[in-house]
């Protein structure tokens, strides 16, 4: 039996067999449930001293809390890789991991289709202000007295902020609905990959888009990147779709912009203080709300788990991580 171990934090639901097959390479340990305090005391007590790679499930932040500086500094010296299940990894302090030479991977690509499908679902729902007839029908009022006409996506200008894997999948789908596409990204895409989408400045995207889809990662420079000054310059009647991360939008400013009519409607899968939802969003029938279910399909959940395991296997076999996080690419 190998003296090296892998540690699963949280659960694997769809690729259990594939996880167990790693036992030919490594000893397999698990920390399924517990508390941050208990986890840290096990780390300090040496229970995981032979662990070279961690599989970190998406929901395990509920068990251990974020992998912040404190937790990263308690990880065993043997640890070389953290393979995280999730495209967003804002609950891992990557700089602290890099300082300790710990490689971190996430699960981009696998999430693109289901998250983009969710964005389109929210966009179409928001354009139609679908919450109103949804609620009225279930209340036995058929369309209801407050029912009003919505808007078509056709010929509208969609602004994609963050043209990575999900942003591109959103653009591809929106094109099929007859939308024009413009985008702003940290780095402009090669022209061959733009598929007709126009690269514009952040300001131009804010000023001219009919619908704005948020598809960028959350970090210190993108927190509240959409706040009062941005709402002020947007077109009257703009539609906002957020499937990225809640804190990218200043939620209080969004509430004001919805209440003033500046924003026609919003489709939100993510919130600033999940699972708490701003009461003014909850009470606003012009908002379509989902409880962070962007990747909640059988196919995508399995693909994500398999990609975490692919990263873990490749890393422990000495071939490096397959999908390292952006901050560590090329290292």
Ligand X SMILES: NC(=O)c1ccc[n+]([C@@H]2O[C@H](COP(=O)([O-])OP(=O)(O)OC[C@H]3O[C@@H](n4cnc5c(N)ncnc54)[C@H](O)[C@@H]3O)[C@@H](O)[C@H]2O)c1
Catalytic annotation, residues: 245, 274, 292
Q: Pick between residue 42 and residue 292 the one whose CB is nearest to ligand X.
A: 292
List, in sequence order, every residue forming a beta bridge with 27; answer none if it has no partner. Answer: 5
Rg (CA), the chain: 22
Task: With beta carbons less than 8 A apart as the criterion, state whether 98 and 63 touch.
Answer: no
Q: How far is the CB of 225 from ligand X (least distance, A)?
A: 6
Which of 186/228 has CB closer to ligand X? 186
| Cα–Cα distance for residue pair 105/85, rounded to 1 Å | 8
Percentages of the chain per state (helix, strand, coil), in multiples of 5:
40, 20, 45
Least distance (Å) between residue 249 CB and ligand X:
13
Binding site for ligand X (CB under 6 A): 87-88, 108, 111, 115, 161-167, 184-187, 215-218, 221-222, 243-245, 269-270, 292, 294-295, 326
Edge-to-edge strands of the sheet including 180-184? 198-199, 180-184, 157-161, 211-214, 238-242, 263-268, 287-289
* Pairing outcome for strands 157-161 and 81-84: unpaired
**CB nearer ligand X, residue 6 or residue 245:** 245
Residue of this chain nearest to ligand X (CB atom): 164
Separation CA 109–CA 295 (nearest Å):
11
Closest separation in Å from C-beta 250 to ligand X = 15
CB 78 within 8 A of CB 100: no
CB of 267 to ligand X, least distance (A): 11
The three-class DSSP label of residue 120 is helix
Least distance in angstroms from the C-beta of 129 to ligand X: 21
Q: Name which of 27 and 297 has its Cβ closer to ligand X.
A: 297
Question: Quick one: 166 or 263, whose CB is closer to ligand X?
Answer: 166
């Amino acid at each position: 039996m190998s003296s090296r171990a892998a540690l699963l934090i949280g659960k694997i639901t769809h690729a259990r067999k594939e996880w167990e097959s790693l036992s030919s390479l490594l000893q397999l340990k698990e920390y399924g449930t517990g508390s941050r305090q208990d986890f840290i005391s096990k780390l300090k007590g040496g229970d995981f001293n032979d662990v070279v790679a961690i599989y970190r499930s998406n929901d395990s932040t509920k068990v251990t809390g974020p992998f912040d500086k404190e937790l990263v500094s308690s990880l065993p010296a043997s640890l070389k890789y953290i393979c995280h299940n999730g495209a967003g990894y804002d609950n891992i302090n990557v700089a602290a991991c890099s300082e300790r030479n710990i490689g971190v991977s996430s699960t981009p690509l696998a999430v693109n289709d289901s998250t983009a499908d969710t964005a389109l679902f929210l966009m179409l729902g928001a354009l139609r202000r679908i919450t109103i007839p949804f609620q009225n029908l279930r209340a036995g009022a058929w369309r209801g007295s407050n029912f009003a006409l919505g808007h078509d996506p056709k010929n509208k200008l969609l602004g994609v902020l963050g043209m990575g894997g999900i942003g591109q999948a959103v653009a591809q789908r929106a094109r099929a609905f007859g939308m024009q596409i413009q985008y702003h990204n940290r780095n402009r895409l090669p022209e061959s990959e733009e598929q007709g989408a126009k690269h514009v400045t952040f300001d131009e995207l804010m000023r001219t888009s009919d619908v704005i889809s948020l598809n960028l990662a959350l970090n210190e420079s993108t927190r509240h990147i959409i706040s009062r000054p941005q709402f002020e310059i947007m077109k009257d009647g703009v539609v906002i779709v957020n499937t990225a991360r809640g804190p990218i939008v200043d939620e209080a400013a969004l509430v004001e912009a919805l209440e003033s009519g500046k924003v026609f409607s919003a489709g939100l899968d993510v919130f600033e203080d999940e699972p708490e939802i701003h009461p003014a969003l909850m009470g606003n029938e012009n908002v379509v709300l989902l409880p962070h279910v962007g990747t909640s399909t059988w196919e995508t959940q399995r693909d994500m788990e398999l990609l975490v395991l692919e990263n873990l296997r490749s890393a422990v076999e000495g071939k490096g991580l397959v999908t390292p996080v952006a901050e560590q690419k090329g290292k």
